Amino acid sequence: MELVLLVMLILVLTAFVYMFILLLVWFAAAHEVRCKGFFLLLCYWLS
């Protein structure tokens, strides 16, 4: 019984870590796109 609980706990923790990594990647990608857009706008404005 305790082994089953341990396995479930490990699976839940793994799922949380996976979701956290996905969120970090998504935020990084969104931030990069925003920065590139801002940089392009700045270059266009300066030219």
Cα gap 47→45, rounded to integer Å: 6
Alpha carbon separation from 34 to 15, 20, 27 (Å, rounded): 28, 21, 10
Tokens 């266009």 sit on residue: 44
pLDDT tens-digit map of 1-47: 799 999 999 999 999 999 999 999 888 888 777 778 888 888 888 87
Instruction: Identify the pLDDT of residue 40.
Output: 83
Instruction: Identify the pLDDT of residue 17.
Output: 96
Domain ranges of the chain: 1-37
Alpha carbon separation from 13 to 1, 8, 35 (Å, rounded): 19, 9, 33
Instruction: Identify the pLDDT of residue 33.
Output: 78
Instruction: Identify the pLDDT of residue 3.
Output: 94
**17 residue type, one letter:** V
Is the overall model pTM greater than 0.75, yes or no?
no
Cα gap 10→3, rounded to integer Å: 11
